[in-house]
Amino acid sequence: MSSPSHHRPWILLLLLTCFGLAYADGPGLGTAAPDFKLQDQDGKWHTLADYRGKWVALYFYPKDQTPGCTTQACDFRDNIFAYREAGAVILGVSVDDVESHKAFVEKHGLPFTLLADPTKETARRYGVLNFTGFAKRETFLIDPKGVIVKRYVVSEPKGHSDVVLKDIKELQAKS
**Domains of the chain: residue spans and CATH:** 26-174 (3.40.30.10)
Question: Which pLDDT value is given to residue 8?
Answer: 53
Question: Which pLDDT value is given to residue 159?
Answer: 95
**127 φ, ψ (degrees, to nearest 5):** 75, 25
CA distance 97 to 116: 5
Residues 137-157 have pLDDT tens digits of 999 999 999 999 999 999 999
Q: What is the mean pLDDT of the chain?
A: 89
Q: Can 18 be counted among the known catalytic residues?
A: no
Question: Which pLDDT value is given to residue 148?
Answer: 98
Selection from 109, 129, 130, 132 nearest residue 117 by Cα: 129
Question: Which pLDDT value is given to residue 7?
Answer: 52
Selection from 138, 143, 137 nearest residue 86 by Cα: 143
Residues 78-122 have pLDDT tens digits of 999 999 999 999 999 999 999 999 999 999 999 999 999 999 999
The count of residues in the chain is 175
Kindly report which listed range (10-19, 44-53, 95-104, 157-166) carries the lowest average pLDDT score. 10-19
Which residues pair with residue 47 across a beta bridge?
Answer: 37
Find the catalytic residue in 33, 38, 58, 69.
Answer: 69
